Amino acid sequence: MNIDQVIHDFVAKGMALFRIHSLDYYYAINRLLVILNKEFFETDLMPTVPLPSLLESMNQMVEYAVSKGIIQESAQARDQLTSEIMDVLTPTPSAVNKTFWENYREAPMKATDEFYELCQVNDYIKTRDIAKNEVFTATSDYGDLTITINLSKPEKTKADILQAQKEVGDYPKCQLCAENEGYQGRMGIAGRSNHRFIRVPLEGKNWGFQYSPYSYYNEHCIVFTEEHIPMDVSHQTITNLLELVTVLPHYFMGSNAGLPIVGGSMLGHEHYQGGRHKFPMENARIMESWIWKNLPTVEAERLYWPLSVVRLRSTSKLDLIQAGSQLMDAWENYSNEALDILANTNGDTHNAVTLIARRKGSEYEMDVVLRNNRTTPAFPDGIFHPHSDVQHIKKENIGLIEVLGLAILPPRLKTELADVAAYLLNEKTQVASYHQAWADDLKQANTVTGQNVEQVIQKSVGDKFQRVLEDAGVFKQTEQGQHAFSTFVSRFK
């Protein structure tokens, strides 16, 4: 390849997309020359017609760097170089923040639209990788559920993991820390040269707003404390989430629970997740509704959902905060030994909540999902965690996104489900041992053909995910469980 032509086309495309100013042409060229270890450049080149995309030119520069020994042939090195190349067309953090808040004065949606587009154009949001994810809808007793097999996030090799274990240092302390902005990366820490986040003041503290590189849904964003502090889900969390949906009324905002097993995978740094997406749980039917005791502006609903959810709604943020806080406090101290719900054992707290806030016109909504992380010898992974018979499909923690009805299933399932399909069609294959009993049940219960095999498997995977969520529910969908749930909320009527 003519690498000078590739560099020229990249900059020309950046200018055409208004991501590189025409006055910055030579500056951008020279930055790329440094990145690619070049001292000279052919200046009398004409742009290729039609211009290749930024991602095509970026790929060619990465391949050039590998072929010339400028970087090693590894996913980590490629990732770092990609972010450095894309940083050339990414405005500085101060410029990004200035543009965001100028656009915000016109409309919050304009501010997020422009920032989201930038994060896609500069490849911080890995659009090509995200497109690899497999997504389908599965019917359930609770309405449609969304099933995704996550194929976008690159899996680390054994060598990557061993090398990362040798690395020392705590800068940045974690992948959410503010110090990641512009950081080149190292083994075990992704390249973030092209990373930008928006500074957001929230209840007197500094927070950051960014998009997820490997989005699980539309405009998947993360809001995090600039200070590296652990998750602390409290009354203040309700206040923060409602304030965020005031600032960004077109987004939902949610918080994982603050305890292991039920608290997602990042408990070391306080953060929330949000985005512009409607999840299955929003459509859950109502089992009972009432006006909150002593707070006549607050409507409450108990939802028909595999997990135990109370939805609060009000035009008054203050009243909603008060009702949500009362519900949190009551759940924190609630025990029901007949249902295996114990608030504390041996000084360990077990009850927690997953919180989701959204706007519905002038009204605020807050979903409070009741969680418990207790373990026993019979359920060492958690009483209210996916049980062993469904862990061949999903064994990871059930966090905020799954609670809302969107399954994030591991990438291993792509090939494993293909093996199950071949087995059902009586083709020669090797089914993973932990799928064998399930595959046998499917074969016995269905007449499988080449035309319906995918439908049979997807329906069963949806059934398994329904069970996964039901396992996580503290008040089961039984007469006993729902009577106890109704009794628990009766104190607020």
- pLDDT tens, position by position, 15-72: 999 999 999 999 999 999 999 999 999 999 999 999 999 999 999 999 999 999 999 9
pTM of the model: 0.94
Q: Which residues of 368-387 are buried (b: 16+ CB within 10 A; e: fewer)?
A: bbbbbbbbeeeeeebbbbbb
As to burial, measured by CB atoms within 10 angstroms (0-12 exposed, 13-18 middle, 19+ buried), residue 412 is exposed
Question: Do 11 and 30 meet the contact criterion of CB atoms below 8 Å apart?
Answer: no
d(CA 240, CA 224): 11
Which domains, and CATH codes, for the chain? 3-89 (no CATH), 127-166+194-406+482-492 (3.30.428)
Which residues does the chain have with pLDDT short of 70? Answer: 154-169
Question: What does DSSP say about strands 286-291 and 351-360: parallel, antiparallel, or unpaired?
Answer: unpaired
Structure tokens at 188: 């075990």
Is the C-alpha dihedral spanning 242, 248, 250, 255 positive or negative? negative
d(CA 300, CA 486): 12
Specify the residue for token string 């994030």: 408
pLDDT at 158: 47
pLDDT at 354: 98
d(CA 20, CA 90): 8
From the list 134, 155, 180, 484, the residue with the least C-alpha distance to 337 is: 484
Residue type, 464: K
The string of pLDDT tens digits covering residues 424-450 is 999 999 999 999 999 999 999 999 999
d(CA 222, CA 255): 10
Question: Do 369 and 309 meet the contact criterion of CB atoms below 8 Å apart?
Answer: yes
As to burial, measured by CB atoms within 10 angstroms (0-12 exposed, 13-18 middle, 19+ buried), residue 84 is buried
pLDDT at 157: 47
d(CA 297, CA 425): 58
